Amino acid sequence: MSTLPSHHVPPWQWDVFCCVIDNFGDIGVCWRLASQLAAAGQRVRLWVDDASALAWMAPGGAAGVEVRSWGAFPAANEPPSDVLVEAFGCEIAPDFIAACEDRVSAGAKKPVWINLEYLSAESWVPRHHGLPSPVLHGPAAGWTKWFYYPGFGKDTGGLLRERGLMDRMQAFDRGAWRRQHGGDAPGQEPRWVSLFCYEPPALGDWLQQCASGATAPTCLLVTPGRAQRAVQVAMQEISNEIGLQRLSGMPEQLHILNMDARPQPAYDELLWACDLNFVRGEDSLVRALWAGQPLVWHIYPQDDGAHGPKLDAFLDWLQAPPSLRHFHRVWNGLAPGKLPVVDAALLQNWGTCVRAARERLLAQNDLLTQLLGFCASKR
């Protein structure tokens, strides 16, 4: 697979298309891609059907990125598309493609058309990455789309990693962050845990484990939306099961802090500040890998059960120890039983595993570098 350093690529016009499904994952990845392209000197138009999440995810925007409404078109005096990126199976409107074809007929160069796929560690990904898909119908009949698969191995499209990330992480003051967020109370130092999830079947088991006194006290930082609602429901179920009197003793061992929505760089800091990160979907999984702290992934559940093999493939790539593998399967409802008790020794073991995986990733080219090189090879 051809790669080309970003500084060798001329400033092209990129059109990135995103249909928002849950306001976090798809738009989160597309915004990271768009902003990293712009930081590399590219011009980007991000076409999105619901940009509302960017108000908190990227409140300052990014120089070089224009957010456009889905269904609109570039004006006649604007630059033609050099690269089209369909993210996560969304389909560019035929009228937009017809407008691109008109530009090509008038002398513009045919754009490189990228189908940016979902992230997976499954063995078939390297075989499909970079394959052509001829366009047989519509205004662009005769053109070619190219499958582009992010991934964890050297034969895939890589993962998004902006320049300077590791330096920024190294300069982060974890102690100051914790003090700012209420971590200067006297007593035993708690373990800090972030929770970004859907509705994990074992959430109640985890909360009871934290509150039982079997481990160090836990400061649980819960992200907005589904995670906070899931914790509220689970705590109510625990209250019904064990009674209010026993529940009232939980704050001594389990302190739950509901977090506000935060921009992407601030979410990174949350991950860096914690001893254990529960993440969901794609974007937060990748950011947790860069953070290098122990992590647990809540994979998006699919009705056909396809998430099971996908999770197993990730755990195989991660070289997860048995305890981490078992925790993942119970957390995701793929195995019965109780969660393993997560004590200091287990966290150390999991952290060693994640940091070793991060080193493997850092030895590979990031997604942006690879994508720029791939597109240069197709023009």
Q: Which positions are catalytic? A: 26, 282
> For residue 161, which amino acid is it?
R
For residue 305, how many C-alpha atoms fall within 13 Å in the half-sphere facing its CB? 3
Contact assessment for residue 114 and residue 82, using Cβ atoms and an 8 Å cutoff:
no
Instruction: Tokens 């604007």: give the residue.
Output: 78
Q: How many other C-beta atoms lie within 10 A of the C-beta of residue 168?
A: 14
* Cβ pair 163, 6 in contact under 8 A: no
Sheet of 43-48, strands arranged across? 65-69, 43-48, 13-18, 83-87, 112-116, 144-148, 132-134
Contact 283, 271 (CB under 8 A): no
Compute the distance between CA of residue 269 and CA of residue 273 in angstroms, rounded to an integer. Answer: 6
Alpha-carbon distance of 63 to 73, in angstroms, equals: 21
- Are 13 and 66 spatial neighbours (Cβ–Cβ below 8 Å)? no
Classify 254 as helix, strand or coil: strand
In whole angstroms, give the CA distance from residue 285 to residue 281: 7
